[in-house]
């Protein structure tokens, strides 16, 4: 296993844990307590055309203490990484718990979890923070230059890199040290229609955010893709506008992942189903009373949650409550069978164990129930290819990449667009279309799923910035899926819908 960053292990972690746990155990009425120390190394590079536009670096560092006192949560955080700082945080968390106690409708109880004393490090071949910044900037400027040489009117490359270190210790005996790295490289180019329409088209590369290192950026093939992007843009500008109406759709994994994220992954967060997110991000039509009987979609639909997938953005060894990473079913044969849980919710529903979905994006934030990697599994019976899916369509559209999206407060009505759209005619691709969006209701859409690609077509996509909570937090999450064939989904013409 790779070594944890020595700069993090050099912090007084044992002293902080000892002071916090001693203070927690000395407080009457405390049934549970934990300490989290977070250090995030963050670097954001933005290049445009021939210039470095911005280079931002930060290293937030601090600790958070959480406790259950007389059945009430308390939380406090500090950037003072000293034993006394930890003790002060414990006292402040206890004060908060006492303040909130009269407001409680039910006592906080946590599902059991064994104590863990382990170190976990995510697999990275080349830590992005070991690569000289000048090397990364030169690479990014080179990709922008290739776009311009190919004819792009503008080009930019943005890359966000994070190394996350966490230390966790609890009154139950856990002591966990973790490190993971991730990056999100985004190359984008644009063209202007020279025929007089004034239309501008932009396009992003097919690179995706990953729980990997700089080796992913170097291996993706950005310089070559830069030229192809400009060719795709020229074709898109010259392509016909889509005629709206029902169409068979083949959705590439680069598009389908976002539909999974919005209509399924957010829709099966138990805190949302219980109404905890109603103020900020809405509720969900998939309520707990429907577990085991809600027909979410086609029998082909098998959705899992996990924190185990190699290079997943939500992959960890343990969540922020010390629960070991797992994999479980959320939707099986098209039926809702499970939710994403933390320890409090697991206990409330009398489940034996949490499935490890607690996460805080900072030492200064309380862990929330947050999304794991939520994925659509491929066809288990045959290794169906993309070409075979396309061949089953007489007239339809093949959608690649994600762009804009919209979904209602119950994760029910939605519409999505993409980066590129190809007409499918008699099983073959026949040039691009433009102004395409697809619209449906979640159970209707997933009920129209007729075929899936096999294991060799499965890809892992995702996002760095899934938002939730008040105060708002962001979390990285991946979604794996194969391409899927959906019959007779309503297609909109975005220019017509926009009144153009």
- pLDDT tens digits, one per residue of 280-307: 889 999 999 999 999 999 999 999 999 9
Q: Are 254 and 402 in contact (CB under 8 A)?
A: yes
Confidence of residue 77 (pLDDT cuts 50, 70, 90): very high
Q: Are 178 and 121 in contact (CB under 8 A)?
A: yes
Q: What does the block give as tokens for 76?
A: 């406090």
- Residue 210 contacts by C-beta under 8 Å, 6 or more apart in sequence? 182, 183, 184, 216, 311, 313, 460, 462, 478
Residue that is written with structure tokens 């944890």 in the block:
4
Q: For 188-203, what is the mean pLDDT? A: 89
Confidence of residue 324 (pLDDT cuts 50, 70, 90): very high
Residue that is written with structure tokens 């889509």 in the block:
242
Beta strands in 26-174 (DSSP E): 30-48, 51-58, 61-69, 72-78, 117-121, 154-170
Q: What does the block give as tokens for 244?
A: 């709206």
Q: What is the mean pLDDT of the chain?
A: 96
Omega cis (within 30) before 133: no
Confidence of residue 279 (pLDDT cuts 50, 70, 90): confident
Q: What does the block give as tokens for 37?
A: 């120390």
Q: Are 63 and 34 in contact (CB under 8 A)?
A: no
Confidence of residue 1 (pLDDT cuts 50, 70, 90): low
DSSP line for 83-121: HHHHHHHHHHHHHHHHHHGGG-SS----------EEEEE
pLDDT value of position 499 = 76
The tally of CA atoms less than 13 A away on the side-chain side of residue 129 is 16
- Residue 433 contacts by C-beta under 8 Å, 6 or more apart in sequence? 239, 240, 241, 242, 397, 421, 422, 423
- Give the least confident one: 66-70, 117-121, 195-199, 385-389: 195-199
Q: Does residue 443 carry a pLDDT above 90?
A: yes
Q: Does residue 107 carry a pLDDT above 90?
A: yes
pLDDT value of position 196 = 74
- Residue 418 CA, chain-centre distance (Å), reads 18
Q: What is the percentage of the chain residues whose pLDDT exceeds 70? A: 100
Q: Give dist(CA 466, CA 261) in Å, integer.
A: 9
- Strand-pairing partners, residue 160, are 44, 184
pLDDT value of position 365 = 97
Residue that is written with structure tokens 């560092």 in the block:
61
* H-only helix segments in 239-310: 253-260, 270-273
Q: For 103-113, what is the mean pLDDT? A: 95
pLDDT value of position 318 = 98
* Dihedral pair phi/psi, residue 10, rounded to 5°: -75, -15
Q: Does residue 34 carry a pLDDT above 60?
A: yes
Q: What is the percentage of the chain residues whose pLDDT exceeds 90? A: 94
How many CB atoms neighbour CB 125 within 10 A? 12
Q: For 124-151, what is the mean pLDDT? A: 97
Q: Give dist(CA 209, CA 371) in Å, integer.
A: 16
- Strand-pairing partners, residue 376, are 303
Max CA separation in the chain (angstroms): 76
pLDDT value of position 500 = 65
pLDDT value of position 294 = 98
The pLDDT tens digits of the residues spanning 45-71 come to 999 999 999 999 999 999 999 999 999
Q: For 29-34, what is the mean pLDDT? A: 98
Q: Are 93 and 80 in contact (CB under 8 A)?
A: no
Buried b / exposed e along 315-351 (16+ C-beta atoms within 10 A): bbbbbbbbbbbbeeebbbebbbbbbbbbbbbbbbeee
Q: What does the block give as tokens for 305?
A: 């949650």
Q: Give dist(CA 445, CA 452) in Å, integer.
A: 14
Q: Give dist(CA 4, CA 426) in Å, integer.
A: 54
How many CB atoms neighbour CB 472 within 10 A? 11
Three-state SS at 242: coil
Q: Are 397 and 491 in contact (CB under 8 A)?
A: yes
Q: Does residue 457 carry a pLDDT above 80?
A: yes
Q: Are 439 and 414 in contact (CB under 8 A)?
A: yes
Q: Are 376 and 309 in contact (CB under 8 A)?
A: no
Confidence of residue 194 (pLDDT cuts 50, 70, 90): confident
Three-state SS at 348: helix
* Virtual torsion, Cα 295, 272, 177, 364, nearest 10 deg: 160
Domains present along the chain, CATH in parentheses? 6-238 (3.30.2290.10), 245-497 (no CATH)
Q: What does the block give as tokens for 450?
A: 């007729």
| Pairing verdict, β 327-332 and 303-306 | antiparallel
DSSP 336: E
Length of the chain: 500
């Amino acid at each position: 296993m790779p070594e944890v960053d020595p700069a993090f292990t050099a912090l007084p972690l044992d002293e902080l844990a000892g002071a916090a746990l001693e203070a927690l155990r000395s407080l009457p009425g405390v049934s549970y307590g934990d300490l989290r120390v977070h250090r995030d190394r963050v670097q954001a590079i933005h290049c445009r055309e021939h210039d470095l536009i911005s280079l931002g670096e930060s290293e937030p560092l601090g600790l958070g203490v959480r406790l259950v006192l007389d059945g009430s949560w308390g939380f406090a955080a500090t950037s003072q990484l000293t034993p006394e700082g930890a003790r002060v945080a414990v006292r402040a968390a206890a004060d908060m718990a006492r303040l909130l106690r009269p407001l409680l409708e039910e006592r906080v109880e946590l599902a059991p979890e064994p104590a863990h004393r382990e170190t976990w490090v995510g697999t990275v071949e080349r830590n992005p923070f070991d690569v000289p910044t000048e090397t990364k900037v030169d690479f990014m400027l080179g990709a922008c230059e290739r776009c311009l040489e190919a004819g792009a009117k503008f080009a930019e490359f943005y890359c966000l890199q994070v190394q996350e270190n966490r230390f966790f210790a609890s009154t139950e005996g856990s002591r966990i040290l973790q490190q993971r790295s991730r990056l999100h490289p985004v190359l984008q180019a644009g063209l202007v229609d020279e025929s007089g329409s004034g239309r501008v088209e932009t396009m992003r590369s097919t690179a995706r955010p990953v729980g990997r290192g700089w080796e992913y950026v170097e291996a993706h093939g950005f310089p070559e893709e830069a030229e192809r992007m400009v060719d795709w843009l020229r074709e898109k500008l010259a392509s016909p506008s889509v005629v709206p109406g029902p169409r068979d759709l083949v959705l590439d994994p680069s598009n389908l992942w976002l539909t999974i994220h919005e209509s399924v992954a957010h829709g099966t967060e138990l805190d949302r189903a219980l109404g905890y997110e109603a103020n900020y991000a809405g509720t969900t039509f998939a309520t707990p009373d429907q577990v085991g009987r809600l027909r979410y979609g086609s029998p082909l639909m098998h959705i899992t949650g996990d924190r185990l997938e190699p290079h997943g953005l939500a992959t960890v060894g343990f969540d922020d409550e010390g629960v070991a990473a797992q994999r479980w079913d959320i939707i099986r044969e098209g039926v809702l069978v499970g939710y994403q849980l933390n320890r409090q919710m697991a206990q409330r529903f009398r489940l034996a164990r949490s499935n490890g979905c607690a996460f805080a994006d900072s030492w200064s934030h309380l862990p929330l129930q947050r999304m794991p990697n939520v994925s659509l599994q491929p066809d288990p019976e045959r290794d169906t290819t993309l070409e075979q899916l396309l061949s089953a369509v007489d007239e339809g559209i093949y959608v690649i990449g994600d762009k804009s999206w919209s979904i209602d407060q119950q994760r029910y009505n939605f519409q999505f667009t993409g980066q590129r759209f190809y007409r499918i005619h008699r099983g073959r691709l026949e040039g691009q279309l433009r102004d395409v969006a697809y619209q449906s209701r979640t159970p209707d859409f997933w009920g129209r799923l007729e075929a899936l690609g096999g294991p060799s077509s499965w890809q892992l996509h995702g996002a760095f910035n899934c938002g939730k909570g008040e105060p708002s937090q962001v979390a990285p999450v991946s979604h794996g899926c194969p391409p899927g064939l959906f019959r007779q989904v309503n297609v909109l013409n975005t220019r017509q819908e926009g009144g153009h």
